[in-house]
Each structure stands twice: as C-alpha cells, then as structure tokens.
Amino acid sequence: MTDGGLARFSGFADVYDANRPSPPAELGPLLAAYAGTPHPVVADLGCGTGLSSRWASAWAASVTGIEPNPDMRAMAASRPAPNVDYRPGRAEDTGLEPGGFDVVTAVQAMHWFEPGATLAEVGRLLRPGGVLAVIDADWPPVSGLVRAELAWTEMHRRIRALEARVSRGESPAAVLAPVKADDPDVVDDDLADPHRNRRLPGGVRSWSKSGHLARMAASGMFRFTREVLTSRAVDGGADRFKALMYSQGSYQGLRRHGLSDSDIGADRFEAEVDAAYAAAGDPPGLAFSWRVRLGVR
C-alpha cells in the first residue's frame, strides 16, 4: 500500500468500525477445514479497525492483525480480544516469523496491496498446507429496495468520476461537471469489481478484485485455488445503509479534497434512500454477498 493509500483511511475509523460488516461466521470453520486444523494460527493482513481480526478470533487459536494505518490500528487496539494481537506493518512486509501461520486472511483489503510482493510474503508466512483467504463483500448491501440500491449506484458512479477528475488535476468546474452515461471514467464501472481500471487521487493505486484468483494461481505458490460464494444478514435499515456509503474511503477522500456533500451527490443519495425506506413500510433487513478467493499452499 502506498503512503497515499494510508492517508485514504485516516480520520474515519469510528464510522468504519461501527458500520462495516464482518464475514459470515460459518466461513471461519471452512477455512480451518481447508487448512486441516480446527483452530488455526491466523495472520490478518490489512486488519483495519480489527473487525476481521475479532471475527477470526471466534474460530482461531490466535490472530495477529497487521495494519499500517495508525488511526485504524488504534481503534482496533481499543477493542481487545483475548487471542488477538495487533502490530504495525504492511502486507508486503509484515515482519512476522516465516512458516508460522495456518491461515492468512485479507478481508476487504487485498485490492490495496501490490500483488507480487504480497503473495511472496504470504508464501513466506504460510506453512505447507496453509491457506490464503482473500475475502471481499459485494457492494451495495442487499436491501430489497430498488430505489435505494439505484441511489447507491448513482452516487458510486459520481464518486468514481470525481476521483478520476481530481487525480488528473482538472479545474474545479471540470471536476464538478455532470457525469454522463458515456463518461469514459465510469463506462466500465462494475460494483462487484469497483477497482478495475480505477483512477484515484494522490498517487493511490489499487488492483482489480476479479483478478485476485488468477494472480494467486499464476504465482505458483498454491497447489489448489478456488472461489467460494456466501452471504450474511446484518442489522440495520436506512441509517446504516447510508452510513455504509460514508464508510467508503472514496467518499472520505473526496471530502478531504474539499468537496462538499452536495458536490459528491450525498444530498440526493440520502433523500432517495429515505424515500425508498419510507415507501417500503416494513422493509427486509440488510445483507451482504461475500466472495472468497482461497489458495492452499
């Protein structure tokens, strides 16, 4: 992760920790089974505020959370778990002992890591037969409300276009121009793979999520790779749906660049989400679809 990437995740650890989802509970025992041990020793790369490490603590013998961002790591440390330890470090250079881990996880994080160096580090950390699990949630959350999810899609497209324009140093007027359907910055937008061909401000780099499995297989470090799909319901309604948008580093980064909520489209987003929930009366709860790309050493 670049220094710009670290800055992207500063200043909103509280919003992130309060609203982001954790993976499904049943996924932990599945990873343990692939690793061939009921209570694996886990390294959690890019653990953020500790959501993923606390999740792993329910099924692991021990968890070492690696997080380079001090804001996120401080939030993680403020919510300790008895078998979890947090350390500064990067996915490409963790400083952990070689061969000491049964499972390495990267939960909603692998797209920020330089793939070659990170996979080399994972290979150093895992013992033979150990498992790498790259775990990502699809966005937006599943709400059952078309109007709310369309509002998310519209705001996401605007955010992507604004980020690209800011990254090119365009004038304020050009940055805030309407986003047309054929805008080249969003024409290939894909909510399941939002980092494909994405231009980000501040020299930040990310990698396509849909390429994770192919890069793992091509690394030659794993004798078995596959993708697993699962889902998990989460608590919340309109307020959490909106807060999940504001937990995105893309939104937070544009605010730090001086753009207002009105510039970004948050006012319209909130109005549409509130209207969708008001019209639904008794809407279903939220859920997330999860994609797990795993490799066995």
Let me know: does 92 contact 189? Beta carbons within 8 Å.
Answer: no
pLDDT < 70: residue spans in the chain? 1-6
- Structure confidence at residue 281 (pLDDT): 86
Residues 6+ positions from 3 with CB-CB distance below 8 Å = none
Cα–Cα dist 233/253, whole Å = 28
Q: Are residues 274 and 160 in the same domain?
A: yes
Question: What tokens were used for 221?
Answer: 């470090």
Domain CATH number, residue 52: 3.40.50.150
Domain that holds residue 19: 3-139+202-234+288-296
Residues 6+ positions from 231 with CB-CB distance below 8 Å = 24, 142, 287, 288, 289, 290
Distances (CA, A) of 153 to 138, 140, 159, 160: 12, 8, 10, 11
Q: How many domains does the chain have?
A: 2
Cα–Cα dist 77/178, whole Å = 42
**Which pLDDT tens digit goes with each residue over 107-145?**
999 999 999 999 999 999 999 999 999 999 999 999 999
Q: Are residues 191 and 134 in the same domain?
A: no
For 262-281, letters b (16+ CB in 10 Å) and e give ebbbbeebbebbbebbeebe
pTM (two decimals): 0.94
To the nearest 10°, the Cα dihedral for 191, 196, 201, 204?
A: 120
Q: Are residues 265 and 277 in the same domain?
A: yes
Q: Are residues 18 and 68 in the same domain?
A: yes
Residues 6+ positions from 200 with CB-CB distance below 8 Å = 4, 8, 163, 167, 206, 253
**Which pLDDT tens digit goes with each residue over 223-266?**
999 999 999 999 999 999 999 999 999 999 999 999 999 999 99
- Structure confidence at residue 3 (pLDDT): 57
**3-state DSSP assignment of residue 148:** helix
Q: Are residues 223 and 251 in the same domain?
A: no
Distances (CA, A) of 63 to 13, 88, 95: 20, 14, 15
- Structure confidence at residue 1 (pLDDT): 56
Q: Are residues 104 and 188 in the same domain?
A: no
- Structure confidence at residue 296 (pLDDT): 98
Q: Are residues 130 and 216 in the same domain?
A: yes
Q: Are residues 153 and 207 in the same domain?
A: no
Q: Are residues 230 and 130 in the same domain?
A: yes
